[in-house]
A = this chain, B = another copy of it.
Amino acid sequence: MAIAVDAMGGDNPLTVQIEAALQAIAEFGTDVVLVGSEAQIKEKLKRQSYDQNKLRIVNSTEIVEMNESPATALRQKKNSSIRVAVDLLSTGEADAVVSAGNTGAAMAAAKFVLKSVEGIERPAIATLMPSIHRDHPFVLLDIGANTDCKPLYLFQFALMGDAYARTYLHLDNPRVALLNNGEEEGKGYLQLKETFDLLKQSTLNFAGNVEGKAMFKDRVDVVVCDGFIGNIALKVAEGTFDFVRSVLREEVENTLLAKMGYLAMKGPFRALRKRADYSEVGGAPLLGVNGVVIICHGSSKVHTIRNAIKHAQECAEHKLNNKIALEVSENLEVIKRAKSLSEEA
């Protein structure tokens, strides 16, 4: 079991990835393949001590910039670090890929090289979101891979989210819900109503619609939406956290008592930050391609990449994609019905 790490991606290429790889090797015993400029990686590794049997370097000669067009990168940079990492996954030399590089380029390479799991039309990016129960995050997907989604796609997101919750959160029977503007059946866009019907017929533990407020209250384990809505939900949550932080910082300046209170609450604030930001803590999986691909923010720090390596390892070890394939096979009849809906539309 080896995890390929795109060493050239993100805002702090090489430094962050190499340090994270060494930590993962030391702490989790992971085998890591660093993909990037071999010379530069070797230079950086010079003064480090680590288990050499657990670290392999694979050279790549090109870099996809953060703002580069994914389509162009895919076509023109066949020796980029992300592409070479994904190639290693397809040839079996690696079991998963971690990248903090250009998200679009990572998705494009993964979809093109690895192809989708049979029965899955559109891979989706999932993220863990916090609930008020300390140990019960929930899975939100899609958070950005697909803007316009037919019921067929949303249904498949539900299957993939369920498989991911079983694999990574170790849940026996995840409660799967549709993000909607009301709990009652019949709410929302036509596509959501149709997806609701499909989910009712599925093997999933379908919990109906959930609202944007209630989903934080530990009522559901998987929340399904299209990538546009998922992006809005994720960004609004982030914006709200930033707002809270900014206002409290400003307001505590008003009195000495409040300032002291703020200091005394350092612990709870730190805990809040930690409980709030799951994606920061371990990356987001691209679900539905043939292989485990974990995507991290470009701004990821060492501990994020290190955790993402562990995240990737767990998903690969517990055979996430087999679970997705199984869920597809158990719901073939419903998928067939969803396809006939798509053709009518």
Contact = CB atoms under 8 A, between A and B. Distances in A.
A220 interface: no
Interface string A266-283: 011101100110000000
A235 B264 contact: no
Interface string A91-134: 00000000000000000000000000000000000000011101
Interface in A226-255: 227-229, 231-244, 246-248, 250-252, 254-255
Contacts of A257: 264, 267
Given A232-B179, A237-B236, A264 B261 contact: yes
Contacts of A148: 189-190
A142 to B, nearest CB: 11
Nearest to A130: B243
Interface in A167-218: 179, 181, 188-190, 211-217
A246 B272 CA distance: 10
Nearest to A184: B67
A181 B244 contact: no
B252 A268 contact: yes
A260 interface: yes
Nearest to A248: B268
A264 B268 contact: no
Most chain B beta-carbon neighbours within 10 Å: one of A181, A188, A239, A272: A239
Nearest to A272: B247
B272 A264 contact: no
A65 to B, nearest CB: 16
B247 A258 contact: no
Given A232-B179, A236-B237, A243-B132, A265 B261 contact: yes
A47 B326 CA distance: 71
Given A227-B181, A232-B232, A239 B254 contact: no
A76 interface: no
A271 B244 contact: no
Contacts of A241: 240, 244
A228 B265 contact: no
The 6 A-B residue pairs with the shortest CB-CB distance, nearest first, are: A261-B264, A212-B235, A251-B268, A261-B265, A181-B231, A213-B239
Given A132-B247, A213-B235, 11 more contacts: A181-B231, A181-B232, A212-B234, A212-B236, A212-B239, A213-B239, A247-B276, A251-B267, A258-B264, A261-B261, A262-B265
27 contacts: A132-B247, A147-B188, A147-B189, A181-B228, A181-B231, A212-B231, A213-B235, A213-B239, A213-B242, A214-B235, A216-B239, A216-B243, A229-B232, A233-B233, A236-B237, A237-B237, A240-B240, A241-B244, A247-B271, A248-B268, A251-B267, A251-B268, A251-B272, A252-B265, A258-B268, A261-B261, A261-B263
